[in-house]
Every structure is written in structure tokens, then in C-alpha cells.
Structure 1
Amino acid sequence: MSDYVKWFRHSTPYINTHRDRTFVVLLPGEAIAHPNFNNIINDIMLLSTLGVRLVLVHGSRPQIEERLAARGMTSRFHNDLRITDSDTLGCVMDAVGSLRIAIEARLCTLAGQGSRLRVVSGNFVTAKPIGVIDGVDLHHTGEVRRIDRKGISRHLDDASIVLLSSMGYSPTGEVFNLACEDVAISTAAALEADKLILFGPDTGIFDTDGQLLRELKPSRALPLIEALGNSLPGSLLSAACKACNAGLRRSHIISYADDGAMLTELFTRDGGGTLVTQEPFEKIRRAHIDDVAGLLDLLRPLEQAGILVRRSREVLETEIDQFTLIERDGMIIGCAALYPLDEQSAELACVAIHPDYRHGGRGDQLLEHIEAEARRRSLTRLFVLTTRTAHWFRERGFEPSSVERLPQQRAQLYNYQRNSKVFEKNL
């Protein structure tokens, strides 16, 4: 029970962050066929209950294959695209329609358990034919032409879940078989969604050594996409990169086989799958007034242990412009303050790294950033006063100094009862 309470408390910031955000969730046919799908539906319902605006896009590839096999038909592909002739289109429509009804029924069953929920499907996707490629007619295989952004947004504003399939319609009444990844990317881009969540067979994307990649930029993904080929993980990684290049901030690749994978990815600091983003997962930046609460949470344990001098909320609000932060996925995990003392020197103070992140060189990154800022201001000397971390600063070029070496104004404020050691470093 204590682990549950701890997890629930730690998820609170993410609950607040995700409320009223728009997520597009891709459910390939393989995910729907997996025994864990009922748990995924439960998690989707939980997200909706927490105020997340949800668009679900479902695929149907294995279900189409089953129907083709049952009719004694063989799949035909060109450039990894299914050739959807009239007979194949019948199988596609059968598979997609059955899946849509099954998903709606499952969502409505859960909605009946004390909550009110509407699931909306419709002709939100306008499509066009791909046509003839290399002399091969793809018939009813198409691509997205337009997403009805206003129509979808209206239903999301009404707290409905919007369900889209891998089929689109033309203004002339034709039906086209689309790649579910194409629908998901186009929808996320049209809605300017906050996240695209892609369910795949694995925990995430792995490098050539078999290590899970927690974060990946599109510029580094091409060799992995080529290695994965036309497999489902390869298609998902390619889709995540395309979405990112189309302006979407974050795409998450997670496992449809792992119970709770989506909750772990969305409501824990480190997630559980692979994040594809143009933005750095961690960044160093200047603090602003909205960061005071996060700073208090970071500093309080160190103040209680006597490592840092206690700073009240009022003091932090007054001095917030002096602070530089390390932010990880919206959470403050490190900080340092730079207080000018005179025209040539400044005091480095309040250096702190969250206990869970003290072994990744973040303290060094923060110090390097502060020193660069001091040089930019034409400062030539840094002082630091410490009671417990003298060796850390000595190892980074700070030399023992004395109270007498401090500028007079700072020396007058020295706390002899605390008896901090003084170090300085020439820049």
C-alpha cells in the first residue's frame, strides 16, 4: 500500500500537466488482438476521467489478413503498400467495421461503471487515391487529404472520445484503405496535439546493443528505421519521427503487451518506453517565479539536513532571478544561484541536485553553465561557502580561501556560528 500511495502522490504533477491536453493514441490491429487490450482500454478510460482530450486511431492489418485467408485470397503489396482491389476492399471494410464496433462497445461497457462517456466516430478523414506507382495500380489504397479539425475539436470540447479508423472517404463517395500511421500523424498535426502515443510489440525502441532508448531525436533515428525495415516497430518509429518533423513536440512508443505501460510513460519521471522529440528531455534554463514551489521541494531536504541555508518562499521569490535550473520533463531536478558581489566577483550558492539524479554529471553541467554565465558578465572570480561539500568543489578547481578574501559587504554577512568553509576560483 505504501508504494501505491507514494506513486499516486508523485503522479500528481503529471495529472495537472495532462489535464485538458490533446493526445492522439495509435492502436494497431496487433494491440487490439492482444490479451492486454482490455487493460489498455481501462487506462484510456482513466485518462479521459482525468481530463485528457483523446483521439483514438485504430489499425486492422492482422484482422484484414485473417479475412483474406478465410476467403482464400492472398495479400498483394507494392513498396510496402497493400494493393486494395475491390475484393480486398470488402475484407478491409469488414475488418475495420467489426473493430470499430468492438472498441466502442468496450468503451461503453466501462463508461457504464459510474461514469458518462460518449465515443464518437464519423467521416472526419478525407482521403485521396495514391494511384499508380511504377506501373502498379493500388486501386482503393489511399492517403490522407484532410482532417476535419473543427469537427473533431467540437467533440473533444464536449468531453467525447473520438475514434478514427484506417479508412477515409473522398468527396465523391469513394472509400480508401489508409495506413493507420498516416491517419494518426495527420490527425496529431491538424489538432496540434500535445502527444502522439504509439503502441507497439516491444517496450520501446532498442539500439544495436539491445539497450532501450529512453529518448531519441529524429536526426538519429534513420539507421534504426532502416534496420527495423517494414516491421511494426519500424513503422511506429518512422511515424514518430514524421510527427516530430511535422511540429508535434513529443511522440511516445510503448508496449501493448505490458500492463500499465501508458500510465508508466505518462505519470512517472523516467517513463517506460521511448520518447521521440526534437526538444531535450532535460534542459538548463533561467528560473522564473512559477518555479518557486518546485525549488522549495528540491531544497527542503538539504536545508533540513543542514547542508544548505534555509530560504523561505518570500526570499526565493525575491531572489528567483539569480537561479539557474535543470528541468527534466517539467520537474526541477537541479539548481544553482549566482549572486554578484562586486564588479569582478560573485558567489555561487544553493547548488543542489535531486537525490535520484546525482550520478549523471548534472552538477558539472550546472557548474559549467554558471561559470559561462559569470564570464559573460565579465566576472573573474567565484566564491563558494560550504559546510559539507568542500571536496566536490576542490575537485573542480576551487581553492581554499578565507572570510577576509570576500568582498566587504559579503564578509559582514558571514555566519560564524555556521562556520562555512570559503573557497574561490579564478575564471
Structure 2
Amino acid sequence: MLSGELLDGPRLPTLIHDLALLNSLGIKLVLVHGARPQISARLAESDIESTFEQHMRITDSAALDSVVAAVGALRLKLEGLFSMGLANSPMHNASIRLISGNFVVAKPVGVRGGFDYQHTGEVRRIDVDAIRQQLGNGNVVLLSPVGGSPTGELFNVNAEEVASTAAIALGADKLIIMGEHLRLADPQGHLVRELSPQQAGKLLAGDQYENNGVDRQLTAACHAASNGVARAHLLDAQVDGALIKELFTRDGCGTLVTRETYETLRGARIEDVGGILELIEPLEEDGTLVRRSRELLENEIQRFAIIERDGMVIACAALYPFPEEKTGELACVAVHSSYRKGERGAQVLGYLERRAREQGLHSLFVLTTLTAHWFQQQGFEAAGVEALPGARQSLYNWQRNSKVFVKGL
């Protein structure tokens, strides 16, 4: 979904190029456009006052003419942009067909709270079969915020509702909502990168986003994520290349609303061996970790815990228990260089500490050459080699001369 504000902005042609790229990769696209500022401008030109209730514009017969004119103009504008084919441009020989039609079936909102919404409507259903037929032909489908009814009337519908309802009905992999300055931030001003529908609902219960349009967009994302759409994304179109960055980089640049866990802390499985090897290889090369072969890792994989981020292992550690001495060795602690500011090492350590307690261990020890300060920050205290279990003392590498640290559980 592209917000109405975005359709009047300077970044729209570049965004169309990005959509053309996605289409060329075989990605099936349904494009929903907003029209709120354009409708307001048309109404102002006609000296018709806009009245809103519950974020919905009350649309009488005179206002409907302005709605139809604004939406029709935007459809033609988008058709023109998708028809670009200039040589030496990203759209050269693109030959993209943008198909619009009566895919949105609407019904009247009716009278609510004493207000007659007249030609303001809600989505009754989406013509899924017709849309899929067009997608199967390689076309991009365009849905507008105007729907027809079985009685032949037209209704002004909410673009965010069209987007979320269509995503759910089509079983879309993603709902992507783009707007001008569409950015969710925490109290410190940092971008909120991931939300569950429940967390999104708590945000909506406050008044932080009530009057800037973000509430409508977040509501749509939450609705989709709660009804079968795996991931809903909120993107700020002011970020250059936002769409491509969100889809093709691991961390993206917007806010993801999903019921799935994007980052998981869990015990390692045999299929994680390759990811662990890739993670620890740089640390083995610089001497931080002792080298481990694939065969050794496969045999000891049950000792490991990992943090997986969207299919990539970004942190790991292993626990080797010594039951007779009621202690365990913490080993192979590694965090990917791009994720070392998020306390992930401490999270894996906490996970293995819980596992150690469950096994009846009373302490953990670690041998390290380069990360002594970090382990001290986690509550480990310096000790001598004599503090190690006898079996581990006999394997101590005096050439490596690792420092020993111990932590009581």
C-alpha cells in the first residue's frame, strides 16, 4: 500500500522503478493506493467541508464526485508511471501491465452513533479469483479506495482496510505499507524494528499516533498479522531505497509486525552446524576461539545453544558438564560482529546457566585469552588452573595460557 501523501511526493517514480524490479523477479504484486490528501484537496476546491468520524470521512453525494475524480486521477497517474520505458532507465523494456477493475466489493457503513455515513463504505469482499488470474498472467493489480456494491453504487472505502483485507484474502506472504514519515519510535527515539500484534495493540491503545495517520496504518498491519499474513511491514518512504532494503537485507529499515519470532534463542540442532561454523570462523582465525572441525561440532551439537535471526545463526555458546564436580565449562561463546550491542552474549549465557542448574551443577568455568573483561562483567571471577576439574586440568593448553574464570550458580 502506498499512502496518498506518497503519491504526491518526489520519490514516487523511483519507487515505481523498485516495484518494476520486484515484478521482473517474478514477485506477484498487488498495489493499493491511498487518496486521502487528494480527496481533501478536491473537496476544498469545490468548497465542500470534510467531516470525519472514527477516522472515516462522511461522504455525501456531492463529496462522492470529488472522491471519484481524485481516485480516477491517481489511477491514471500510476498507469502512466508504470508505462515508462525510456532507454537507459530502470524501466527500459519493462512492459508491465497495471490492471485495475472492480476487484473490491463494498457495502455501506450505514448509520453509527447517530451519524449517517452515506457513501462511505466498508470492504464486503475481495474478488480473489479475478486478482489471482491477473497475477498468474504476470500483471500488477491495482486496488483503489473505492468499491462497488451489488446494487451498482460506489462507496469511499479506507485504503488501509482494502490493503489488509486483500492481503488476508489472497494469503499474501507480506503486507507492506509505505507512507511519508511512517516511522515507529521508542521513547528514546530509536526505530522499533519488530512488534507482535499484541504489542502493536498496546501502542494503539495509547494516543501517541492518534492524529498522524500512523494509527490507521499500524491497525492494518496488526489486522493482517493477526489473520494469517506472516509479516506486515511499515516503511518510511523518506528512506532512500526503503522497499529494497526491507526485502533484501536481514534487518531491513522499517517496523515488522509478525506473530512469528524473528529472533529465537534455542538449543542447537544438527542443521545449525553450518551456521555455527560460519559464525565462529573469524574468531578462530584471530585466535579468540580454539578451532573446531565440522565433525566435532556435529558430535557435540547437543551441547550448543544459539540465537537465530531470520534463518541466520548470530550467536552461540556451549556447555560441557562435569557432573562429579558439579561444575560445567562454558565454551565457544561467539556473537556475530553486527549484533554485539544487543546483549545477545548475555542472553545465551543466561540460557546455558538455566540448563546447568537443571543438570544440578553448582558453578560454571570458562577459559579465555581475549575476553576476560566481558566474562567479569557477567559475574565470573578469576581463578587458577587448580580450580578446574581434574579431567579438564590434564587437557589445559599451557602454550595458549588461557585465563580461568569461575561463576557460582
Distance 1:209 1:392, change over 3 A: closer
Contact 1:335 1:351 in 2 (8 A): yes
1:24-423 maps to which residues of 2 (within 5 A)? 26-110=1-85, 113-202=92-181, 204-207=183-186, 210-216=189-195, 217-224=199-206, 226-279=207-260, 281-342=262-323, 344-395=326-377, 396-402=379-385, 405-406=388-389, 408=391, 410=392, 413-423=395-405
Contact 2:177 2:234 in 1 (8 A): yes
Structure 1: tracts of 5 or more residues without a match: 1-25
Give the TM-score normalised by the residue count of structure 1. 0.83
Shift of residue 203 of structure 1?
A: 5.1
The aligned amino acid for 2:360 is: S
1:250 and 1:401 mapped to 2: Cα distance? 51
Shift of residue 38 of structure 1?
A: 0.8
Shift of residue 71 of structure 1?
A: 3.2
Distance 1:384 1:158, change over 3 A: farther
Shift of residue 61 of structure 1?
A: 1.4
1:37 and 1:361 mapped to 2: Cα distance? 39
Give the TM-score normalised by the residue count of structure 2. 0.86
Shift of residue 235 of structure 1?
A: 2.2
Q: Secondary structure at the match of 2:375?
A: helix
Contact 1:399 1:425 in 2 (8 A): no
Shift of residue 157 of structure 1?
A: 4.3
Shift of residue 180 of structure 1?
A: 0.2
1:401 and 1:154 mapped to 2: Cα distance? 72
Shift of residue 300 of structure 1?
A: 1.2
Distance 1:312 1:155, change over 3 A: farther
Shift of residue 154 of structure 1?
A: 4.1
1:317 and 1:54 mapped to 2: Cα distance? 42
2:268 and 2:219 mapped to 1: Cα distance? 35
Shift of residue 262 of structure 1?
A: 2.1
RMSD between aligned residues: 2.8
Q: Secondary structure at the match of 1:73?
A: coil
The aligned amino acid for 1:406 is: P
Distance 1:35 1:394, change over 3 A: closer
1:426 and 1:404 mapped to 2: Cα distance? 12
Identity fraction in percent: 50
> What do residues 260-318 of structure 1 show as CA deviations (whole Å, max 9, x unaligned)?
12223333344333333445553312223443333233211101001111223343344
1:214 and 1:267 mapped to 2: Cα distance? 15
1:389 and 1:375 mapped to 2: Cα distance? 24
1:168 and 1:75 mapped to 2: Cα distance? 20
Contact 2:17 2:91 in 1 (8 A): no
2:273 and 2:56 mapped to 1: Cα distance? 53
1:387 and 1:119 mapped to 2: Cα distance? 61
Distance 1:318 1:56, change over 3 A: farther
Contact 2:20 2:94 in 1 (8 A): no
> What do residues 112-132 of structure 1 show as CA deviations (whole Å, max 9, x unaligned)?
613453433233222211111
| Greater mean alpha carbon deviation, residues 104-113 or residues 345-354 | 104-113
Distance 1:332 1:129, change over 3 A: same
Contact 1:403 1:422 in 2 (8 A): no
1:301 and 1:327 mapped to 2: Cα distance? 18
Distance 1:299 1:155, change over 3 A: farther
The aligned amino acid for 2:220 is: A
1:279 and 1:417 mapped to 2: Cα distance? 47
Distance 1:132 1:302, change over 3 A: same
Contact 1:201 1:233 in 2 (8 A): no
Q: Secondary structure at the match of 2:102?
A: coil
1:212 and 1:401 mapped to 2: Cα distance? 45
Q: Secondary structure at the match of 1:227?
A: coil
1:425 and 1:79 mapped to 2: Cα distance? 57
2:271 and 2:23 mapped to 1: Cα distance? 27
Shift of residue 189 of structure 1?
A: 1.9
Distance 1:293 1:105, change over 3 A: farther
Contact 2:380 2:405 in 1 (8 A): no
Distance 1:106 1:298, change over 3 A: same
